[in-house]
Amino acid sequence: MGFSSEWEQRYTENTHLSVWPWSDIVSLVHRHCKPIISKGGGRILELGCGAGANIPLFRALGMEYFAIEGSPTIVKQLNQRYPDLVDNIMVGDFTLEQPFECDFDLVIDRAALTHNNTASIKNALQIAFDSLKLGGIFIGSDWFSKNHDDFSGGEVSDDEFTRTNHTKGSFAGVGKVHFSNERHLRDLFTQYEIVSMEEKLMRRYEPKDNHQFASWNIVARKPFNVR
Ligand SMILES: C[S@@+](CC[C@H](N)C(=O)[O-])C[C@H]1O[C@@H](n2cnc3c(N)ncnc32)[C@H](O)[C@@H]1O
């Protein structure tokens, strides 16, 4: 099982409630999904939608939106906010199952797979692959990088890329955090064609703690010639 129960606790305490679309997701979708958007419609699956920050973007684009999220508390809130999506936003563990019909044009994940260990991420990427149409696109944003300062925080959990029990910073109280490097990402995405892979590094000067944030954005395609 991939889902860290700490997330349910965060949402019952009303923390981690991001409700505005993430700017990297907006840019990546417009940069890499023109054929899907211009066709109109299209089906999108979000893995770990949290408080639903990205929902307004996909609705504005006229796409049919589906999501799997591990926290029952946040899914209940989303069901109240978007009653027409009650059958489309499900409680579940995306490293184990995908309850919807396949044939998705797009699967997106912003900082959700990266809260699981390597084995669970591999499962989730396989499920996403099987859920996509031929030529469908996977967008992963904010997969934390080994160059993130908090890679040295907390303690090792399950494998060399995964840590847990961070006591300070933004990863405190959220369970597992996975940190990738280029080689690891290429290894995880062997089945896909990698379209774009970028690492974002941000150093903080104020407050003066010199903290470095680092994460990856990756866009990958399910090849057209898979059986
Ligand atoms: C950092 S939050 C990101 C939320 C949202 N994607 C956003 O960008 O605002 C990570 C989310 O992934 C969910 N999550 C992590 N692992 C999961 C799993 N294995 N199955 C289902 N949900 C999971 C957590 O419950 C949490 O809502």
**Half-sphere CA count of 38, side-chain side, radius 13 A:** 6
pLDDT value at position 21?
83
pLDDT value at position 1?
66
Domains of the chain by start residue, with CATH: 6-221 (3.40.50.150)
pLDDT value at position 106?
98
Which ligand 1 atom sits nearest the alpha carbon of residue 8?
25
Q: Where are the beta strands (DSSP E) in 24-150?
A: 43-47, 64-69, 89-91, 104-110, 132-144
Please list every protein residue whose CB sits less than 6 Å from any atom of ligand 1: 2-3, 7, 18, 22, 48-50, 53, 68-71, 93-95, 110-112, 115-116
For the segment 201-226, what is each residue's pLDDT rounded down to a tens digit? 999 999 999 999 999 999 999 999 98
Q: Is the pTM of the predicted complex or chain greater than 0.85?
A: yes
Which ligand 1 atom sits nearest the alpha carbon of residue 3?
19
SS3 76: helix
Of all protein residues, whose CA lies closest to atom 4 belonging to ligand 1?
50
Q: What letter does residue 4 receive in the DSSP assignment?
A: -
Each residue's pLDDT expressed in tens, for the chain with a length of 227 residues: 678 889 999 999 987 787 888 999 999 999 999 999 988 789 999 999 999 999 999 999 999 999 999 999 999 999 999 999 999 999 999 999 999 999 999 999 999 999 999 999 999 999 999 999 999 999 999 999 999 999 999 999 999 999 999 999 999 999 999 999 999 999 999 999 999 999 999 999 999 999 999 999 999 999 999 87
Q: How far is the CA of 96 from the centre of ligand 1 (A)?
A: 14
